[in-house]
Amino acid sequence: MITIKGLEKWFEQLHVLKGIDLIVNPSEVVVIIGASGSGKSTLLRCINFLEKFQKGEVFIEGKAVNQQDEKMINEMRSHVGMVFQHFNLFPHMSVLHNVIEGPTQVKGMGKEEAIEIGRYYLDKVGLIDKENAYPSMLSGGQKQRVAIARALAMEPSAILFDEPTSALDPELVGEVLLVMKNLAKDGMTMVIVTHEMGFAREVADRVVYMDEGVIVEQGTPKQVFDLPQKERTQSFLSRVR
């Protein structure tokens, strides 16, 4: 589904990603963990070409994406959704309008069909009764669920999540994680950056531990959490527990 080969990224002098190789298979849930500044967000943003990288390649659905080709990038983005830490809903549009904006404006879908799809996904995230509300009227947890519905309405083949719950009050984290668990159950391909270790253990097919721009270790949650092989992984896990 997503294949990353030899990805390297610099911010000016700062070498942030130092050769990342990663394959995400269809319907797989990959959770990326690691210390702050290790390059997790940057990796996610490179997969969606929100950041340009200097070396390596990213393949989406088997196709190598050319970073210079805006058209190709836009096409690719409509297949790979993204959910942000700070939701980034469109504040001047209603909840339903937020959700159908992608299908109507990017896919050129008719309004009626888009509304039908939009309502279907709003129902999925449990917010069908909020379709006329504006983002400012929602709680953080509800905002993030709308953002997930917005990504889903594009009917992508994978969704990237960058710390979807870390801007939320603790009591609102659960409702968002529940929606994500259901997505995993439905077979959605997901790449999730998170600090929620319990959640990672529960839904991840594979856990990837990153440090200083490299993948140090990866494996099933059992392998990584219970029997970490590398010393760096062990010391990270002992710090976050």
Ligand X SMILES: Nc1ncnc2c1ncn2[C@@H]1O[C@H](COP(=O)(O)OP(=O)(O)OP(=O)(O)O)[C@@H](O)[C@H]1O
Binding-site ranges for another protein (CB under 8 A):
48, 50, 70, 74-78, 81-82, 84, 86, 88-94, 101-102, 105-106, 134, 136, 147, 150-151, 154
Q: Which positions touch Mg ion (CB under 5 A)?
A: 41
130 binds, among Mg ion, another protein, ligand X, none (CB under 5 to 8 A by kind): none
| Contact (Cβ atoms closer than 8 angstroms) between residue 127 and residue 68 | no
Which residues, numbered 139-168, are part of the site for ligand X (CB under 6 A)? Answer: none
Amino acid at 130: K
Query: Any contact of residue 52 with ligand X (CB under 6 A)?
Result: no
DSSP, residue by residue, the chain:
-EEEEEEEEEETTEEEEEEEEEEE-TT-EEEEEE-TTSSHHHHHHHHTTSS--SEEEEEETTEEPPTT-HHHHHHHHTTEEEE-TT----TTS-HHHHHHHHHHHTS---HHHHHHHHHHHHHHTT-GGGTTS-GGGS-HHHHHHHHHHHHHTT--SEEEEESTTTTS-HHHHHHHHHHHHHHHHTT-EEEEE-S-HHHHHHH-SEEEEEETTEEEEEE-HIIIIIS--SHHHHHHHHHH-
Kindly state the smallest distance separating residue 2's Cβ from another protein, in Å: 15
Question: For ligand X, how many residues bind (rule: CB under 6 A)?
Answer: 11
Kindly state the smallest distance separating residue 231's Cβ from another protein, in Å: 36
| CA 40 to the chain's CA centroid | 11
240 binds, among ligand X, another protein, Mg ion, none (CB under 5 to 8 A by kind): none
The nearer residue to another protein, 77 or 206, going by C-beta atoms, is 77
The nearer residue to ligand X, 39 or 156, going by C-beta atoms, is 39
Kindly state the smallest distance separating residue 211's Cβ from another protein, in Å: 26
Query: Any contact of residue 36 with ligand X (CB under 6 A)?
Result: yes
Residue for token digits 């995993």? 184
11 binds, among Mg ion, another protein, ligand X, none (CB under 5 to 8 A by kind): ligand X
105 binds, among another protein, Mg ion, ligand X, none (CB under 5 to 8 A by kind): another protein
Which residues, numbered 6-25, are part of the site for ligand X (CB under 6 A)? Answer: 11, 14, 16
Q: Select the span of 32-40, 73-81, 89-97, 182-190 touching ligand X (CB under 6 A).
A: 32-40
Cα separation, 210 vs 200, in Å, equals 14
The nearer residue to another protein, 76 or 200, going by C-beta atoms, is 76
Residues that bind ligand X in the complex, under the rule CB under 6 A? 11, 14, 16, 34, 36-42
